[in-house]
Amino acid sequence: MKSKFLFVLALVLALCACSNDGAGKTNSEKAEKKIRIAHLVNGYLGDKSFHDSANLGLSDLADENKSIEFKSVEMTDDTSKHEKTLMEYCEDGTWDIIVVGTWQMIEPLKNASEKYPDQKFILYDDKMDYSDGKYKNIYSITYKQNEGSFLAGYIATKLAENTENRKIGFLGGMITPVINDFLVGYSAGRDYANPEVSLNVAFINDFFDAALGKQMANSQYDGGVEVGFSPAALAGMGQVEASLEKGKYMIGIDSDQYALFGEEKGKYIVTSVLKNVGNSLKRAIDLYSKGELPFGSSESLGLKEDAVGIVKNENYKKIVPADVQNEIEEVEKKIKSGEIKVPSAFDMSEDEVKEIIEKN
């Protein structure tokens, strides 16, 4: 009887050991499984703008978390390569998430989403049309750039209102919904600060030609613009050189351009309107890892979510008068609370946006 009991006990222990080994192996496999993320850039890194912000955010996330594998690919500005490259990464089948950005990737993403329904995508700086129930494998992030540019318009106006010309400038890359949203917010910030200050509006019609951007920024400065603002990606970098040569102020875009260009080259960069793409992607990947990322929908993130804002570095504090800095703090609070409702191009008709462009 005793020997039979010992035999049964040994058998139970052996089974438990096997079970534990199996569970241990499963847990180990789970622990070792990486989240593989491919960031496909429809342009180039080095734009000192939102592509760089996205890349930095994902790169930092991979450095901080060994369970994340990250790769960034420059598809260049050759649009014929964009869909082809996207399809290649989908076909590979080993990437958990493919991240792309801007309106230029909407059509390629539509096709990829339908062809590869099991592939997960994140789109930043634009959104899919989810009204017909499609694109359940895509999560979109848009940004309330109008809120950040409202602050820029306010600051630019306050710096220009006591000058001889009393004029501020807006130099957009191209007429697109997002760039229009920057303009609408900037114009509203001007109106809130002092509608008597004039606004000059122009478009480069390019996102990559920095030489043309510089030429057009110089033209605005020569025409009396005291403070320029150029949401135009790489093309907008030309304004940095123009502002330095003319000794005129400018407001940067999407990342801290004073920090990027340094004290000497960036001494006329008052502040920069931040679009914290990197932070928003970190947030998205964190939600994905918890199984909580709402694929098949879009989210619009603004000042309240710290997804947009302005830089308040030493140059900002040196150039912007203390009373205006205090006013900005109050304006920010009012935007976050909803007391100030910043208008958006996305809520306007084409004619209403066109009127803002043409009257300035």
Residues 150-193 pLDDT 10s: 999 999 999 999 999 999 999 999 999 999 999 999 999 999 99
Q: Is residue 222 part of a domain?
A: yes
Give the domain extent around 190: 145-274+321-359
Q: Are residues 328 and 293 in the same domain?
A: no
Looking at every residue in the chain, the average pLDDT score rounds to 90
pLDDT tens by residue, 189-227? 999 999 999 999 999 999 989 999 999 999 999 999 999
Q: Are residues 172 and 188 in the same domain?
A: yes
Q: Are residues 174 and 55 in the same domain?
A: no
Residue 300: phi, psi to the nearest 5?
-110, 120
What is the average per-residue pLDDT within 245-263? 93
Q: Are residues 178 and 217 in the same domain?
A: yes
Q: Is residue 127 part of a domain?
A: yes
Q: Are residues 228 and 181 in the same domain?
A: yes
Q: Is residue 52 part of a domain?
A: yes
Q: Is residue 265 part of a domain?
A: yes
Contacts of 184 (CB under 8 A, 6+ apart): 146, 149, 343, 344, 345, 348, 353, 356
Q: Is residue 3 part of a domain?
A: no
Structural domain total, the chain: 2
Q: Are residues 110 and 259 in the same domain?
A: no
pLDDT tens by residue, 7-54? 443 443 344 444 444 444 444 444 557 999 999 999 888 866 778 889
pTM over 0.85: no
Q: Are residues 85 and 206 in the same domain?
A: no
Confidence of residue 233 (pLDDT cuts 50, 70, 90): confident
Q: Is residue 19 part of a domain?
A: no
Q: Is residue 338 part of a domain?
A: yes
pLDDT tens by residue, 47-79? 667 788 899 999 999 999 889 999 999 999 899
What are the DSSP E strand ranges found in the chain? 35-41, 68-74, 97-101, 120-124, 138-143, 167-172, 198-203, 227-229, 249-254, 269-275, 297-301, 308-310
Residue 137 confidence (pLDDT): 98
Q: Are residues 241 and 343 in the same domain?
A: yes
Q: Is 266 exposed, middle or buried (0-12, 13-18, 19+ CB in 10 A)?
A: buried
Q: Are residues 262 and 155 in the same domain?
A: yes
Residue 283: phi, psi to the nearest 5?
-60, -45
Domain CATH code at residue 61:
3.40.50.2300
Q: Are residues 166 and 220 in the same domain?
A: yes
Q: Are residues 122 and 88 in the same domain?
A: yes
Round to whole Å and give the CA distance between 330 and 324.
Answer: 10
Q: Is residue 16 part of a domain?
A: no
Q: Are residues 177 and 251 in the same domain?
A: yes
